[in-house]
Structure 1
Amino acid sequence: MKIALSGNVHVIPEIMDVQERLIFLKHKVVPAFKYVDQVIESDEHRKKNDRSLFLRKIRNCDAILVLNNLEKQGRKNYISGCSFLEMGFAHALGKKIFLLDGIPNVSYKEEILAMKPIVLNGNLERIGNP
Structure 2
Amino acid sequence: MKITICGSMAFYEEMLRTKSQLEKMSHEVRIPIEGFADENGNLLSVEHYNQLRKNLQIAPEEYGSKKRVDILEHFEKIKWSNSILVANFDKKNIANYIGANTLMEMGLALYLQKGIYLLNPVPDVPYQTEILGTLPKILNGDLSLIK
TM-score of the superposed pair, with normalisation by structure 1 = 0.89
Moved more, 98-107 or 39-48: 39-48
**2:102 aligned with 1:106:** no
* 1:6–1:66 Cα contact (<8 Å) kept: yes
Secondary structure of the residue that 1:5 maps to in structure 2?
Answer: strand
Tell me how many residue pairs correspond in the alignment: 127
CA RMSD of aligned residues (A): 1.6
Percent identity of paired positions between Structure 1 and Structure 2: 33
Secondary structure of the residue that 2:97 maps to in structure 1?
Answer: coil
The unaligned stretches of length 5 or more in structure 1 are none
Q: Deviations over 1:8-66 (max 9, x none)?
A: 11111101100000000000001112437362174422332122111122111101111
Q: Tell me by how many angstroms 1:70 deviates.
A: 2.0
Q: Tell me by how many angstroms 1:119 deviates.
A: 0.4
Other-structure match for 1:60: 80
Secondary structure of the residue that 1:98 maps to in structure 2?
Answer: strand
* 1:30–1:57 Cα contact (<8 Å) kept: yes
Secondary structure of the residue that 1:122 maps to in structure 2?
Answer: coil
* Structure 2 CA distance for aligned equivalents of residues 71 and 35 of structure 1: 21
* Structure 2 CA distance for aligned equivalents of residues 60 and 93 of structure 1: 10
- The residue identity in structure 1 corresponding to 2:102 is S
Secondary structure of the residue that 1:65 maps to in structure 2?
Answer: strand
The unaligned stretches of length 5 or more in structure 2 are 37-43, 51-57
The 5 Å alignment of 1:18-57 reads 18-35=18-35, 37=44, 39=46, 40=49, 42=58, 43-44=62-63, 45-57=65-77
Q: Larger radius of gyration, structure 1 or 2?
A: 2
**2:92 aligned with 1:85:** no
- The residue identity in structure 1 corresponding to 2:95 is K
* 1:98–1:119 Cα contact (<8 Å) kept: yes
TM-score of the superposed pair, with normalisation by structure 2 = 0.80
* 1:100–1:121 Cα contact (<8 Å) kept: yes
The 5 Å alignment of 1:111-126 reads 111-126=130-145
* 1:8–1:83 Cα contact (<8 Å) kept: yes
